[in-house]
Structure 1
């Protein structure tokens, strides 16, 4: 008789990204609920508020995408920055050039900075759903929703390449804990922006 045994997934070693996702899940869920509770796709006006949230957060992380150290750790990071696309989206929606904003994440140590980058990149993975909602408002990857566009090579492949680089980083357990703290801080930052901008 052939016995097939189930493998307890809890015994399997998790990757760094999986551990990071698990340790930030609660904060992430709260943010998702807050954003969708703000009904950002009810109208172009509401969507414009959502763009302001995104614009401020991506201005926060833009210095990290220019960091020499982070680009060495995560090759091609600089090409992933979506701040300029957000500036164009805001101009499309408001008819005005987007204000220049100061970033708030440029003074972070590297492990915490990695947590902020993880949040920014993860949001791009979930942008496929948001793009479909934006399309209902007559927006597209060419007008008003550029920052939600997938990578030409595919959204999934783009994320998997990031994950592979992130998982390969030689971080200590303490540094990984700091990265998780950085990610939670980034989620809280966006939550605060939603509260401030949507009211």
Structure 2
């Protein structure tokens, strides 16, 4: 994805307010061997870009004064109640150095899994993104999680999914749970009540 930014010379809260009034969002680029650079971006373009999942987990081509450099979105701040992006932070990317990024998980085949199709169960997504380390060229837009074999009472763990080549998960714990499958509580209770109300075999219900 391409982002167009402009060098920003004025600093301070007053300058930032003037930028926002003019439809611009202040930001900064840091990292690598170069000094941090203050920038501004078109607010509407940035606001809509932030709604796209890939903008948060992809290498971005940022153009400043005709020169393009690769960056990652690292942080952004929004107004407490207005649809206004207050600030955005970007980190320079070195093609030969590994990066640490949160990548979204895309769950597929839930509707055809035994848990849903045969048991009318619900699959809960315990994690929706995964911390990974990789070279910029290996960064995936998302990681696919196949739920086709999920059964009620089972859990899917990190060790059960295949990561893209060159991508390593940064694990917090032994083998984190990705998803679980269970019968909804209401259905379990209803089934229990039905079983209690059923007459024993060979007896008539009074």
- TM-score, normalising length: structure 1: 0.24
Larger helix proportion of the pair: 1
- Asked which structure has the greater RCO (Cα within 8 Å, sep 6+), the reply is 1
Larger strand proportion of the pair: 2
